[in-house]
Amino acid sequence: MTQQLSDQHERFERGLRALSTIDGEAGHKVVDSLADIAPDFARYLIEFPFGDIYSRPGLDLRAREIATIAALTAMGNATPQLKVHIQAGLNVGLSRDEISEIIMQMAVYAGFPAALNGLFAAKEVFAARAAAGQDAPA
């Protein structure tokens, strides 16, 4: 039982480190917003996606964010999560142009409406970051 608790704690700590690196403040806001309604789910968000999946070897964070932005764009119904991951993509080294290209590529596989929605989400993220002085306007 003690080993299991230790493993869970390490998984959580690894997840927190990854969350901070990838999503920064935006990721912590998502987790914090769940504290009053589903604290266990907030913990799962840290442990599984960030502690287990994002922390795996095999792909760097940049490649993982490319895949995530593409998937969320293709879903077409995950705009809040897409915005968080567009910010994450910028945090891990993707350029605005690369993010726009990733989203435009999804027009082929998910259709123009999904790509349009993704581009508008990116536009909002880029504008908010520029207004906050985080990025120079394109």
Structure tokens at 93: 């080294």
Helix axes 96-110, 61-75, angle to 10 degrees: 40
1 pLDDT band (50/70/90 cuts)?
A: low
- pTM, whole model, 2 decimals? 0.88
What is the model's pLDDT at position 53?
95
